[in-house]
Amino acid sequence: MSLDEHRNVILHNVPESVYYTRQLAVASNSGLKILDEQSPRHYQHWCENPDNDDDATAGLIFGKAFHCATLEPDKFATVYSVLPADAPRDLRRYRNAKRPNSDTLAAIDWWDAWEASNVGRIMLSAASYDQAAYMGESLRAYRMTFPGNVDLTGGELFDSCEKEVTLFWTDEETGIRCKARADIHNAEFRLGGDLKSVLDGSREAFARSIVRYRYHVQNAHYGDGYKTCGQPISSFPFFCVEKTAPFVVASWHVDAMAEERGYAIRRRSLLKLKRCLEEDRWPGHTSTLETLSLPAYAFYDAEETNA
Amino acid sequence: MNRPAEPELMEREIPSADIGTLPAILRAEIDGQIATAHAFPRSVVNFIKESKTLVTLDVEMAEACIYALPRGGKTIAGPSVRFAEIIANSFGNNRFGGRVVAEEGNFIVAQGVYHDLEKNSQCTFEVKRRITDKYGKRYNDDMIGVTGNAAASIAMRNAILRGVPKAFWQSIYDAARQVAVGDASTLSADRERALGWFLKAGITNEQVFAKLGVKGIEDIGIAEMEALVGLKNMLKDGIPGEVVFAVDEPPQAQTSAGGLADAAVAMKNKKKPAEPAKEAAKEPQRDPDTGEVLPEELQ
């Protein structure tokens, strides 16, 4: 599987290592965000130094665990393991000590046995494991009611969908290769969707999150991908679950105005990327001396200062 | 020690601007106009008579009173800036104008003002116009100027047509429309003539039909004829044919919450287990000779 293929295609089971390979000329939603909100120089650095950022942090591991608990709950317990609260200290570094005492030997044995029984599993702290499991359960149990008293739970919806579906396509206007990876996709019902773990899933808070994290641009990017790949979707909901008890769930869909704005911002970002690629220039925040103004709040107390 | 050079005397002699003077002049002018308006009040009867005569002077003048604009995938028509100018002029005793008042990010804001000096009532109307193209790219300076002028004209028209009560000018507009568009009795000849005009301007019948959202000439009614007059005016104003007759692209927005609702219904219908086929009511067996229902053990 190569990103260089010039096909517009929706693929399943694309390995993470392939999908998450960063290339300057392949636009992902995350990459466009960096290019547009920070600078082309930041984007270039992000592409060329994949190991230097924080992606491999506990946050990302937790995110994957939460996705697994929600979308593939049966696999969750086999992929992730939690260290028992009564686990002894990890003393395996004293394995070659001259005269290890019996407690040390017992601890080493316990760790060897534990590791042997958890080969290939990803270890989470007990708190993170429980949190991911509760969030997943809450999302799956979330009940939506539609006109005609039709009920649908998150679990029913997720189970009907393919997970982690990958899209590769070429943007018609700029000729830039694009990629996206949707959490859920149901081709038959023309659905895509994304899971979000949030601090506050309320209307106002999530509307702010949409702007802050450019979820409306994500909606546009994915929507364009589905359309170009010949499978336009009719709905792209965001399923948000709060990170703290009682792990309240909310489902939101951006309206037409937000969607239009998302398309405009994405277009701007792609044109910026096209210009950078054509000129092979990756400028930072400025390329010449520029004048700046202060934000409005800097002038709020102007009158008081003079008084 | 060298003393700094004295500034030239001429520079000192320039009087500093008295910022109170201009408003005072303006106020005196308006006061004068108000006094004149009260001395020579308008006659509504004369206004209607004069403006109706003007707008129906000839077909060209009547056509200039109509404009067209795309709205919600259709082309609709309405009173134009030229019509508003005729109304304001004939109504008299007023001041009106339009100007660009702000540039707000991707938009330009224009304000139209209409001041009835006789009634001392004023109406302002703001119009916002986007100055970015569909890809979010900002227009160049010339295009921003053109867009600003267009916005100012539209704002002025809207201010005039709100300042002068609609009850006064509706019949005048109808008269202009009657002359420009015709009526049912002249429709057949009028639409042939209109399509002929567009053909000469390099616009095919198919382009016209697509723009109006009709299948053919037979579907062009009075409302479509009015829109055609507006489109004709746009071409006359120098707007390129490919712009005037561009068929509006469907909006990019393509997803909605309703999509999930539809999917939920479809999903539930799909899951619903097929109703067990009702066992056909068993017809009891009868004695072929007598027709009597046989006892259960013989069924």
Nearest CA-CA distance, residue A186 and chain B, Å: 9
B252/A260 touch (CB, cutoff 8 Å), yes or no: yes
pLDDT higher than threshold 70 for residue A243: yes
CATH code at A3-83+125-279: 3.90.320.10
**Ranges A164-168, B200-204, B211-215, B294-298, most confident:** A164-168
Question: Of A126 and B281, which is predicted with more confidence?
Answer: A126
Residues whose CB falls within 8 Å of the CB of residue B191, separated by 6 or more in sequence, listed in order = B217, B220, B225, B228
Mean pLDDT of A252-266: 89
Mean pLDDT of A264-287: 94
pLDDT score of B281: 46
Rama region for A238: left / alpha / beta (φ>0; ψ in -120 to 50; rest): beta
Residues whose CB falls within 8 Å of the CB of residue B181, separated by 6 or more in sequence, listed in order = B66, B190, B222, B225, B226, B229
Chain B neighbors of A253, CB-CB under 8 A? 255-257, 260
Distance in angstroms (rounded) separating the CA atoms of residues B158 and B164: 10
Which residues, listed in sequence order, are joined to residue B74 by a DSSP beta bridge? B71
What's phi and psi for B106, nearest 5 deg? -90, 10
Lowest-pLDDT range of A123-127, A286-290, B293-297: B293-297
pLDDT higher than threshold 70 for residue B73: no
In chain B, the percentage of residues whose pLDDT exceeds 70 is 79
pTM for the complete prediction?
0.57
Give yes or no for B263 touching A (CB within 8 A). Answer: yes
Average model confidence (pLDDT) across chain A: 89
Candidate from B135, B253, B263 with C-beta closest to A189 = B263
B263/A234 touch (CB, cutoff 8 Å), yes or no: yes
Chain A neighbors of B137, CB-CB under 8 A? 268, 271
Chain A nearest-CA residue for B268: A150
> Of B90, B208, B269, B92, which is closest to residue A152 (Cα–Cα)?
B269
pLDDT band at B280; cut points 50, 70, 90: very low
Distance in angstroms (rounded) separating the CA atoms of residues A133 and A138: 9
Give yes or no for B257 touching A (CB within 8 A). Answer: yes
Candidate from B137, B263, B265 with C-beta closest to A235 = B263
Mean pLDDT of A209-228: 94
Lowest-pLDDT range of A36-50, A112-126, B235-249, B278-292: B278-292
| DSSP character string of chain A | --TT----EEESS--HHHHT---TTEE-HHHHHIIIII-HHHHHHHHH-TTSSGGGSHHHHHHHHHHHHHH-HHHHHHHEEE--TTPPP--GGGTT-SS--HHHHHHHHHHHHHHHHTTTPEEE-HHHHHHHHHHHHHHHH-EEEETTTEEEEHHHHHHTSEEEEEEEEE-TTT--EEEEEEEEEETTTTEEEEEEEES--SHHHHHHHHHHHTHHHHHHHHHHHHHHTT---SB--EEEEESSTT--EEEE---HHHHHHHHHHHHHHHHHHHHHHHHT----S-SS-------GGGGTTHHHHH-
Give yes or no for B251 touching A (CB within 8 A). Answer: yes
Chain B nearest-CA residue for A145: B261
A-B contacts (CB, under 8 Å): 88
> What ipTM was reported for this prediction?
0.76
| Nearest-10 crossing angle of helices A40-48, A256-279 | 80
Question: Of B1 and A225, which is predicted with more confidence?
Answer: A225
pLDDT tens column, A4-21: 567 899 998 888 888 888
A259/B262 touch (CB, cutoff 8 Å), yes or no: no
B259/A235 touch (CB, cutoff 8 Å), yes or no: yes
pLDDT score of A55: 53
Give yes or no for B267 touching A (CB within 8 A). Answer: yes
Distances (CA, A) of A191 to A269, B126, B254: 25, 41, 12
Residues whose CB falls within 8 Å of the CB of residue B54, separated by 6 or more in sequence, listed in order = B61, B86, B90
Mean pLDDT of A177-196: 93
pLDDT score of B279: 45
Residues whose CB falls within 8 Å of the CB of residue A46, separated by 6 or more in sequence, listed in order = A22, A31, A34, A53
Distances (CA, A) of B22 to B77, B177, B256: 41, 43, 55
Q: Are A231 and A190 in contact (CB under 8 A)?
A: yes
Residues 111 through 150 of chain B touching chain A, CB cutoff 8 Å:
132, 134-137
In chain A, the percentage of residues whose pLDDT exceeds 70 is 94
pLDDT score of B158: 92
Chain A neighbors of B262, CB-CB under 8 A? 189, 234-235
Helix (H) or strand (E) segment spanning residue B44: helix B44-55
Average model confidence (pLDDT) across chain B: 79
Distance in angstroms (rounded) separating the CA atoms of residues B181 and B56: 12
Mean pLDDT of A168-180: 93
Chain A neighbors of B251, CB-CB under 8 A? 256, 260
Mean pLDDT of A43-61: 77
pLDDT score of A221: 96
Q: Angle at the Cα of B184 (from B179 to B190), degrees rounded to 5?
A: 60
Distance in angstroms (rounded) separating the CA atoms of residues A7 and A10: 9
Structure-block tokens of residue A180: 């996206």
Nearest CA-CA distance, residue A148 and chain B, Å: 8
pLDDT score of A99: 82
Chain B neighbors of A219, CB-CB under 8 A? 255
What is the CB neighbour count within 10 angstroms for residue A79?
A: 14
pLDDT higher than threshold 60 for residue A71: yes
Give yes or no for B105 touching A (CB within 8 A). Answer: no
pLDDT higher than threshold 80 for residue A151: yes
pLDDT band at B29; cut points 50, 70, 90: confident
Mean pLDDT of B177-185: 81
Give yes or no for A223 touching B (CB within 8 A). Answer: yes
Residues 1 through 40 of chain B touching chain A, CB cutoff 8 Å:
none
> Of A16, A18, A25, A57, which is closest to residue A44 (Cα–Cα)?
A25
pLDDT higher than threshold 80 for residue B117: yes
Chain A neighbors of B134, CB-CB under 8 A? 267
Q: Are A45 and A238 in contact (CB under 8 A)?
A: no
pLDDT higher than threshold 70 for residue B134: no
| DSSP character string of B241-276 | HHHHTPPPPPPS----HHHHHHHHHHHHHHHSPPPP
Give yes or no for A260 touching B (CB within 8 A). Answer: yes
pLDDT higher than threshold 60 for residue B165: yes
Residues 132 through 151 of chain A touching chain B, CB cutoff 8 Å:
144, 146-148, 150-151
pLDDT tens column, B234-252: 888 777 777 777 765 555 5
Q: Angle at the Cα of A36 (from A31 to A37), degrees rounded to 5?
A: 100
pLDDT score of B238: 73
Q: Are A124 and A61 in contact (CB under 8 A)?
A: yes
B265/A189 touch (CB, cutoff 8 Å), yes or no: no
pLDDT higher than threshold 70 for residue A22: yes
Chain B nearest-CA residue for A150: B265
pLDDT higher than threshold 60 for residue B17: no
